[in-house]
Structures are given as C-alpha cells and as structure tokens.
Structure 1
Amino acid sequence: MVYKSNYMYVNLPVKDLNKTREFFSNIGFEFNPQFSDDKAACLIINDNTFVQLLVESYFQEFINKPIADVTSTAGGIIALSADSREHVDELADKALAAGGKQSKEPKDHGFMYVRSFEDLNGHLWEIAYMNTMPPQE
C-alpha cells in the first residue's frame, strides 16, 4: 500500500510572527485563522498544503535539538509551482519588495523557470514554472 496524505503541513520557526505574517501577506498569501494565534500562523499554500509558522519558543516544544540558524546554513528549500513565468516573477518580486532577499540568480532551463528568495527568517523558497507541454513543431 502506498501512503497518501490528505494534507501537508510544513512547520517553520520564525523570530517575529507579526513581521513574518506581514511579509507573506504582502506577497499575496492568506492565513487560516482557525489554526493561527499569537504563537502560530497557518499560511495557506493551497487547499491541502499549509506552512505553520511557529514562534521559535513554540517550535522548540516539538523538537529535541537546537533550532538551525538558517540565516547562515540551509535547512531545506520550500518549492512552489506557478502558473506562468510572469507569475514566478510577480511572486518573487513581491517577496523582494516585502523585505526578502534574492538567494540565487533566476534560472531558465528552457522547460523550467525558477526564482529563489530568502524570507525574513532566512528560510529558502523557490517559485518555479514548468512548461509540461511538448515543443511545437
């Protein structure tokens, strides 16, 4: 039997929850108030995928080791798809305007276009458009 989850929650530690909420709101994301409070904000990626942004002290309650300093080391990359190259640019530009940092130069692989940024807490994000249509002849 292959395991299939109905929902996916990524949990990330954040230093300042209010600034982090504002950052992602400025990009265009919404939050689920049912799973948000003064310790956590539930960022909606889509109907089945969410990012729980947890203040560091609350995040620490779920782990038995130190929180990684992702401002100086990579702890992972959250990669999201976009509907078009223009949508990639729109989201990445909004992230940079909201205070994020470009983490890598844009990459155009022909079939895939990717922009990368760091959020206010140093977490790495990629926005990608993949052209899955066969080349026109």
Structure 2
Amino acid sequence: MSTNIFVNFATDDLERSKAFYTALGADINPLFTDENAACIVWDDNVYFMVLRREYFSTFTDKAVADPKTTAQVLVALSRDSRADVDAVVQAGLDAGGSEPRPATDLGFMYNRDLEDPDGNILEFLYMDPAAAEQGPEVYLAEQA
C-alpha cells in the first residue's frame, strides 16, 4: 500500500500560487484544478492543494490562519543535494517568495526555508544518506 500526502494551503491569489509552485518545478494536475483550487504535484505521492481562502474555509469550522503572521505548519521537502536545495530556493525567490531565516548547516543536514507569496513556509533539505541511515550522532562521530 502506498500513502499519498495532500497538504492544503489557503491563498489570496490562486494564479500567483500556481505560477510560484510551477517555478519551483512542480506540475499542476488539471483534473483537480479549477477556479477555486489547484492541485500542485511534487511527485507520485506528494501534492499541495492550493485553495482560494474563501474555499479553504468551507473545509473547517475553525478560523483560517493568516500565514503571513501565524505559523501553523512547516512543510519539509527533501532534495537530492545541497545544490538542489539552493536551486529550488533561488527559483522560489525569483518567483516572489522570501527566505525568512538563514540556511542551517548541521554537517549531516542542510536546509533552507522559503515562504510562498502567501506566507506559507516550505523547508527544503538535504540529508547525507549515511546520516539518514545511521542517525546523526553515529554519522558525526565517524566524521570526527
């Protein structure tokens, strides 16, 4: 059995969000995209549903947080290398995103944060495969 992940984001500008996420290298599934929502496809198992704020609010009885002022979730996506992390963040910056914090380099893991134009936070990270397999403490001890 395979598990798919669908992350739902509210947006104030659906067209801007579609342009932003495709600039990062994601695709749009037109079968699940209309005037209220866009299905952003990262790979065969990871999707973002970017929903107009008014439409998003129909899925919950709670107040919809403003991601420019409130962090509710941080979505982390792995990349194949440090260079890939830098490239996707740069593409996001060029497409209207912002980088709210400096890069974090722990030796075994490198990550950068990127805010989309609505303020939703994405973390792009690369972890050395050996560190992922052994755990960071063993990996770092072997590097010393």
Letter in 1 for 2:59: F
Aligned to 1:109: 106
Letter in 1 for 2:126: Y
Give the SS at the match of 2:17.
helix
Asked if residue 31 in structure 1 is aligned to residue 28 in structure 2, the reply is: yes
| Aligned equivalents of 1:25, 1:37: Cα separation in 2 | 16
Aligned to 2:87: 90
Q: TM-score, normalised by structure 1?
A: 0.92
After TM superposition, give the deviation of residue 136 of structure 1 in Å. Answer: 7.1
Moved over 3 A (4+): 134-137
Post-superposition CA distance 1:2-53 (Å, at most 9, x none): xx76321111111100011011111221111111111000011210111100
Asked if residue 18 in structure 1 is aligned to residue 18 in structure 2, the reply is: no
After TM superposition, give the deviation of residue 76 of structure 1 in Å. Answer: 0.8
Give the SS at the match of 2:28.
strand
Aligned to 2:134: none
Give the SS at the match of 1:46.
coil
Which structure's residues are more often helix, by fraction?
2
Aligned to 2:37: 40
RMSD between aligned alpha carbons?
1.6
Aligned to 2:67: 70
Q: Any unmatched runs of 5+ in structure 1?
A: none
Q: 1:7 aligns with which of 4, 7, 13?
A: 4
After TM superposition, give the deviation of residue 100 of structure 1 in Å. Answer: 0.4
Give the SS at the match of 2:99.
strand
Which structure's residues are more often strand, by fraction?
1
Post-superposition CA distance 1:65-94 (Å, at most 9, x none): 111011011111010000000000000011
Query: 13-22 vs 24-33, which deviates more?
Result: 24-33
Q: TM-score, normalised by structure 2?
A: 0.88
Asked if residue 122 in structure 1 is aligned to residue 130 in structure 2, the reply is: no
Letter in 2 for 1:45: W
Indicate the percent of aligned positions where both proteins have the same amino acid: 37
Post-superposition CA distance 1:73-128 (Å, at most 9, x none): 11110100000000000000110111101011001100000011110110001000
Aligned to 2:96: 99
